[in-house]
Amino acid sequence: MENIKKIISLNQASKITGYHSDYLSALIRKKEIKGEKIGGNWFTTEEEIKEYIFKQKIRHKKFAIGDFLSQKRTKKIFIVTGILFLGFLLIGIYLYGKNNKVILEEGKKTLSSEVEIIN
């Protein structure tokens, strides 16, 4: 440990991180966090703990972005968008046809009334 002033116990580290001290000791044994066992207790530095938390946040952000833009999700987005587009298109065609039918019927009535006036 480089800086003796900033050495903290795993109990203190668990208060900073919210992780249990057993989990932190497992991280030290896996060499994901630097630390030493002195007597029967594990110790690390506050900088190591903060660095580990920072790495975890970055890792989670990468996973979140990767998950959001994953191939499976993108495929689902395209399928749902396509279905919505087709639905709106069919509704639009139906309403357009219905509107044209009303206009044609009104036009026929107008023409028939004009034809009667002329005769």
Q: What are phi and psi of 39, to 5 degrees?
A: 70, -125
Residue 81 CA to residue 87 CA, distance in Å, equals 10
Mean pLDDT (10-residue bins), the chain, 119 residues: 70 89 92 90 90 80 65 84 94 82 70 56
- Rounded to 5°, angle at Cα 71 from 68 and 76: 80
Cα(first)–Cα(last) distance of the chain, in Å?
111
Q: What's the pLDDT score for residue 106?
A: 72
Which position has the token pair 């026929």?
A: 108
Give the three-class secondary structure for 43: strand
Question: Domain residue spans in the chain?
Answer: 1-69, 75-119
User: Does the predicted model carry a pTM greater than 0.85?
Assistant: no
